[in-house]
Structure 1
Amino acid sequence: MLNLTYSYRIYPGLDQEAQMLDWLEQCRRVYNYALAERKDWINSRKCLVNACSIKQEYIIPADTPYPDYYKQQNALTKAKEVIPELKAVHSQVLQDALKRLDKSFKFMQERGFGFPRFKKFGQYGSFVFPQFKSNPVNGFEIKLPKIGAMPINLHRPIPDGFEIKQVRVVFKSSGWYAQLILQSDVAVPEPMPHGEPIGIDLGLEKFLAVSTGKLIERPRFFVDLQSKLRWLQRKLRNKKKGSANYRKVQVKIRALHEHIYNIRREFHFLTAHKLCDIAGMIFAEDLNLKMTSRGMLAKHCLDAAWGSFLDILKWVSWKRGIYFAKVDPNGTSQTCPQCGAHTRKKKLSQRVHHCSECRYTTDRDVAAAQLVMQRGIVAVGQTVILPVEEGCLETPMKQEISSVKKGSPRSTRIG
């Protein structure tokens, strides 16, 4: 089963836009009410019966069951009788708001942190039609239940053999978008290791270092536009909250954030395609991205968005038939890729790798990328023949790599 998501720009009329904005607001209210119901139930079970809090306590009977997705979905039918605004919204759209909250709780339980938060006004930006009886796209129009037909910009055709299973309507500062979730029964095999291997190392001094020696500069997406964002936020602070001028500045801030997101995403896609042009196998470090989002360099790490880039690189590699895998990142900066000797721990200011054993000298990030490539080749069972410099003897690292002969052997020159 193959799933694809295509995003298209849609152009609703004034009445349709007002209706969709009202749907977003009703979904937000349902989401917040369901979250408050679950939160109150959880808080009522925190204290013991003989040790109640002196500040506040949630009085909920002990035999009240936990308000899970199915109980809240059944209660939604009764809520429509009390709140007539909910009747105007498609029933499955409201159910998807509850399903989104349920997924957030399940994700929190898996990770152990990240309790779902309440959505403020304007923070709920999409709703989903989970199923369709027939194709909603007819020519250059898309017909949505209870909303009607509206123009759609089909800048690329829908692939043959795919059916539209779901439609997600997204509201951004630049306009409305329809994300079509396409499904086909075609089974696409995963790419197998083949072709020329490369390793990549992500960093802040250079965004990307390739094992071939190529370095890619890191654009400052957020940092370069931070002064403009700070200026807009200062203007927003001086406006009366809820006024027309307040909302105008909010629109400009949202547009700037969307612009930063778009240029960052475009750079990631272009970089991923450039890597796929020169390789048949791509190996990257399995980074602990949670730790990189903390500390004094957190803003720059989040601006580089390494996690988003690796996800995009994985998708582009799969789409183009390139093998992609992650390897252990430990010790990539303290191990020589030429002889395998462990060097002294480098400071962040030290940007050159110089091995005292084999005298191999190269850029620090390039050396780490070469070691990443070697570990990836060992993992997939290929054979590597490293160049032997003058005075550089065979080391256990070389012998270990050369002894792996699973699959078809190949030779790769590094440096």
Structure 2
Amino acid sequence: MFNLIYEFKLKPTSAQIAIFGEWLEQCRRVYNYALCERKDWVNSRKCQINACSIKSEYIIPANQPLPTYNSQAVALTQAKKKIPALKRVHSQVLQQTLKRLQLAFEGMWKNGRGFPRYKKTGQMRSFVFPQLGVNSIQGNQVKLPSIGLVRFIISRPIPDDAVIKQARIVRRASGWYVQLTLQWKIDIPEISPSGTSLGIDVGLMHFAATSNGKTFPNPRPFKRLESKLKSLQKKVSSKRFGSNNRKKAQAKVSRLHERIANTRKNYHWELAHNLCDWVDMIFAENLNLKGLARGMLAKSCLDAGWGQFLDILSQCCFKRGVYFQKVDAKGTSQTCPKCLKETGKKKLSKRVHKCQHCGYTCDRDVAAAQVVEIRGLEAVGHTVVKLSEGKGNIPEDVKLCLPTKKESPALL
């Protein structure tokens, strides 16, 4: 099975927008109630055996098991008989909300993520239809259960041989979107590591440097619009809580945040496609992104979005038939790519690599990318004879869709 997600912008009516908003609010309340049940159960097991709290204790029977998706789904069915607002929401949509909470707890247990948090008003931004009926796409309309036909913009053709498995309705600052999960009954062969190769080193001075000497600029979308964002946030803080003017000011801040995110993501996709045009194998560093996000350069690292870029590059390589693999990032900037000897630690201000053993000199980021390529070739069992020079012409720069500091965003 092969799955892909196609996203389209919806054009709902005012009545449909009201339904979407009401459903999101009910999903938020179900999510918070189910989370409260689980937190109460956990807190009831925290008290000491020989002592009680001065204020109060959570009294839950000792034989009562931890609430799970199955038990809470049964309780949800009983709650729908008492609460009329829950009846207006499609049953599978509410069940998917409970599954979402279950996945949040599994991420905490398995992947070391934080404890799930309550969602404030307006913080729930999507809900899922796990099943769609027959002929769910009719021209430029999608048929949603219990809602009916909703118009959308066909920005890309939907393949006829694909099966629509589910639909996710997403609310953003720029409007409503639908994400259709398409499935094909085909087996995708694994990509074998062969052909020309390329190593990539990501950084802040240059967003990416390749082993063949090319460097790509860092777009810094957040830094370019940070002053504009600061100005808009000041206007929000000066408005009265709950007023319409405050909501309008918050909407402007949300649109600017979305513009920054879209600009960053567009740059990542353009760069990923250019790199896939260049070689047959791509190797990148396996970075500790959580550690970098807590360091002194956290804002710049998050602005660059290395994690998103590596995920996009992996997806792009998969679609384009290019082999992709991450290698150990330890000491890539402290190793000479020519003699493979350690050159010692370098300060961030030192941008040139000069080996004291063999005299090899080049840009620091390019040298690190060459080390990444060597490690990648060794990992796939290739003998490193000479670093690859590529199979085409990669452009010096990628076309950017970034506003200047003086230019105000068009969405505002």
**TM-score interval (norm. to shorter):** over 0.9
* Deviation (angstroms), 1:413: 6.0
2:307 pairs with 1:307: yes
Alignment of 1:295-374 (within 5 A): 295-374=295-374
Aligned to 2:122: 122
Aligned to 2:273: 273
Runs of 4+ in 1 over 3 A off after TM superposition: 411-414
Which whole-Å CA distance do the structure 1 matches of 2:113 and 2:43 have between them? 16
* Deviation (angstroms), 1:349: 0.8
Aligned to 2:99: 99
Q: Is the 8 A contact 1:385 1:413 kept in 2?
A: no
* Residue identity in the other structure for 2:331: G
Which whole-Å CA distance do the structure 2 matches of 1:56 and 1:215 have between them? 61
* Deviation (angstroms), 1:313: 0.1
Which whole-Å CA distance do the structure 1 matches of 2:54 and 2:192 have between them? 62
* Residue identity in the other structure for 2:280: G
* Deviation (angstroms), 1:271: 0.5
> How high is the TM-score relative to the length of structure 1?
0.92
* Residue identity in the other structure for 2:330: N
* Residue identity in the other structure for 2:200: I
* Deviation (angstroms), 1:66: 1.1
2:253 pairs with 1:253: yes
Q: Is the 8 A contact 2:132 2:145 kept in 1?
A: no
Which whole-Å CA distance do the structure 2 matches of 1:269 and 1:102 have between them? 32
Aligned to 2:2: 2
Deviations 1:114-139 (A, max 9, x none): 10011111110010000123131111
Aligned to 1:231: 231
* Residue identity in the other structure for 1:295: G
Kindly report the root-mean-square deviation, in angstroms, between the aligned alpha carbons of the 2 structures.
1.3
- Aligned pairs, number: 390
* Deviation (angstroms), 1:216: 0.7
Greater Rg over alpha carbons, structure: 1
Q: Is the 8 A contact 1:327 1:376 kept in 2?
A: yes
Aligned to 2:400: none
Deviations 1:255-277 (A, max 9, x none): 11111110000000000011111
Aligned to 1:77: 77
Aligned to 1:285: 285
Q: Is the 8 A contact 2:72 2:98 kept in 1?
A: yes
* Deviation (angstroms), 1:206: 0.9
Gaps of 5+ in 1: 387-410
Q: Is the 8 A contact 2:92 2:129 kept in 1?
A: yes
Name which of structure 1's ranges 341-350 and 363-372 shifts more when overlaid on structure 2.
Answer: 341-350
Aligned to 1:49: 49
Which whole-Å CA distance do the structure 2 matches of 1:132 and 1:304 have between them? 38
Q: Is the 8 A contact 1:169 1:179 kept in 2?
A: yes
Gaps of 5+ in 2: 391-412
Which whole-Å CA distance do the structure 2 matches of 1:136 and 1:239 have between them? 44
* Residue identity in the other structure for 1:252: K
> How high is the TM-score relative to the length of structure 2?
0.93
Which whole-Å CA distance do the structure 1 matches of 2:16 and 2:165 have between them? 22
Aligned to 1:408: none
Name which of structure 1's ranges 372-381 and 227-236 shifts more when overlaid on structure 2.
Answer: 227-236
Aligned to 1:150: 150
Deviations 1:174-210 (A, max 9, x none): 1111100011111111211122100000111111000
Aligned to 1:193: 193
Task: Provide the identity percentage.
Answer: 57
Name which of structure 1's ranges 146-155 and 122-131 shifts more when overlaid on structure 2.
Answer: 146-155
- Is the alpha carbon distance of 1:5 and 1:351 closer, same or farther for their aligned partners in structure 2, counting shifts above 3 Å? same
Name which of structure 1's ranges 113-122 and 44-53 shifts more when overlaid on structure 2.
Answer: 44-53
